[in-house]
Amino acid sequence: MTSLYGLDLTGRDVLVVGGGPVSARRAGALADDGARVTVVAPDACEELRELAGAGRVRWVAREVVEADLDGAWLVHTATGDPRADAAVATWAEARRTWCVHAGDAARGTARTAAAGRHGDVVVGVVSAGAADPRRAAAVRGAVARFLDGGGADLRRHRAGAGRVVLVGGGPGAPDLITVRGRRALAEADVVVTDRLGPTGLLDELPASVEVIDVGKTPGHHPVPQHEINALLVEHARRGRTVVRLKGGDPYVFGRGGEELLACAAAGVPVEVVPGVSSALAVPALAGVPLTHRGTVTAFHVVTGHQGLDAASLACVVDRAATLVILMGVSALPSISEQALAAGADPATPVAIVERGSTARQRVTRARLDRVAQVAAEAGVRAPAVIVVGDVAADGLLEVAGDGDRDARGAGRVADG
């Protein structure tokens, strides 16, 4: 693993001299990179003591001596005493060992980079002249923002092992995908995508990235799940980085677990990047809190395909929890009938949020006993999130900027 020094220090001996916060930060980073770290200092700050207590570094509680450098690949000295640091640097020079001199960079033979890790790419910035850590950190931050925003093609250009990344893309707006998910797209050779999620980001990918659409619509699954699993495995075995881009979160009705198991069974490395679940994000964007003090303190998420189970019915009948229904538009008439038959209050508020997070977001509200009729008259279509419970009542929250959302095309329909 490449460290913030640009060196592969995995399994190699590194000496850190000094017991203050600078030494603690460097020792922790070096341990993270797999180095065998020894810290020599008569006293140590709390962070260093914690590192030593956890077994991540070895602390020798005394003043440094020349023999401590024997066998070290890299030395980092930060004692705060110019004479002690200079002596360590001189000993390192005599041994032809790289040395970072924290107090006087010009007297060292190596410099610590202001580094940032972006997947398996490490970007480091150092000053060529006099040390200027703040400038290096500022440049590093600018580069990091560029890379994390998908501004660079991070694909490998040399052959390597293939892998699969299951990425939750969030509810649809491109800026609601996580930074890690956006970076995964920048590393992708192949993207296997659904019709939901931030599909607009696909237009920003290089033309040579292969995009495979396996999107499903209600009642129409052109690519069965077992074929999707096979696609992921096939492309990864060809040495490609495969991103499986999903709407919402891979593990919330996204069948991400099945895809992970298929990859694991085939011996393909797989990573999961969580996404902002539509079950949580879409109601929030529509001004519908799933919990609200004094109203309700729990929520329950289900899919509408199979109707309501006992736990879901209890949420509606007892009104002790908010019920969130995904993929339930087509089943809305039977869902409302089922809830009413179980004893639910006909006046229970329901909110339906279509195309959440997009410029076409629309909210339809109605009573439970009228919601199916109101939705049909309004032409409600999937994708939509249905929220049942007192939090769905119109006017529960005054949401700042609601008029702005309407101006972007996000409408509202209420049961008159």
**pLDDT value, residue 141:** 80
Cis previous bond, 274, omega within 30: no
Confidence (pLDDT) at 404: 38
Nearest to 37 by CA among 62, 6, 11: 11
Local structure of 335: helix, strand or coil: helix
DSSP 8-state code for residue 114: E
Beta-carbon contacts of residue 302 (< 8 Å; ≥ 6 apart): 308, 309, 312, 323, 324, 325, 326
Q: Is 369 a catalytic residue?
A: no
Answer positive or negative: Cα dihedral of 19, 24, 29, 34.
positive
Which CATH number does 1-112 carry?
3.40.50.720
CA dist., res. 316 & res. 298, Å (int):
12
CA 270 to chain centre: 15
Annotated catalytic, 194?
yes
Q: What is the pLDDT of residue 403?
A: 39
Query: CATH number of the domain at 163-276, please?
Result: 3.40.1010.10
User: Please, where are the H alpha helices in 238-293?
Assistant: 256-265, 278-285
Q: Length of the chain in residues, anyone?
A: 416
d(CA 236, CA 266): 10
Q: In angstroms, rounded to a whole number, what is the distance separating the alpha carbons of residues 150 and 27?
A: 31
Total H helices, total E strands in the chain: 12, 18
pLDDT tens, residue by residue, 124-150? 777 777 777 778 778 878 887 788 777
Q: Which residue in 216, 390, 394, 406 is the catalytic one? A: 216
For the chain, domain boundaries: 1-112, 113-148, 163-276, 280-414
Is the Cβ–Cβ distance between 24 and 48 less than 8 Å? Answer: yes
Q: Which long-range contacts (CB under 8 A, 24 or more apart) does 82-86 make?
A: 84/17, 85/17
pLDDT at 368: 97
Looking at domain 280-414, its CATH architecture is 2-Layer Sandwich (3.30)
Q: Which residues of the chain have pLDDT under 50?
A: 1-2, 399-409, 416
CA dist., res. 405 & res. 94, Å (int): 68
- pLDDT at site 415: 66
Q: Answer whether 0.75 is exceeded by the pTM.
A: no
CA dist., res. 152 & res. 186, Å (int)? 7
Nearest to 41 by CA among 132, 31, 54, 26: 26
The dihedral sign for the CA sequence 122, 127, 132, 138:
negative
- Which pLDDT score is estimated for 405? 38
Catalytic residue among 68, 85, 194, 415: 194
